[in-house]
Homo-oligomer: A and B are copies of this chain.
Amino acid sequence: MLSNGGCPKTMLSIQDALEAVEGRWKLLILFSLSEKPKRFKEISREVRGITDKTLSKELKSLEANKLLRREVFSTFPPRVEYSITEHGLSLGKVLDELHFWGLLHRSIVLNDN
């Protein structure tokens, strides 16, 4: 694909994608939810290094982008669960490629330092 390097239309769609999954947390949160629906505290434990404030902000942004769903169950006390949507699952291949590339990057750059 790098054959169409610099093409403005391709750049626009990459930009759209990057705006939706911007930062170092959103994809990790979705990856965690791809296993099963989870509660706030479970996500917070799995996505290492994220603060509660940031997690709360990221969950809202992901919900606005239809990448996850927030559900409140009328138990006592009420239980809140987050689950990945169909649209969120469509990021699977992006996550795949980031995973493979992350392994390569660690072997090339991170182990060098």
Contacts and interface: CB of A to CB of B under 8 A. Distances in A.
Nearest to A94: B97
Nearest to A112: B66
Contacts of A28: 11, 14-15, 18
A25 B97 CA distance: 18
- Number of identical protomers: 2
Interface string A19-31: 1101110011001
Contacts of A94: 94, 97-98, 101
Contacts of A110: 16
A46 interface: yes
Contacts of A33: 5-6
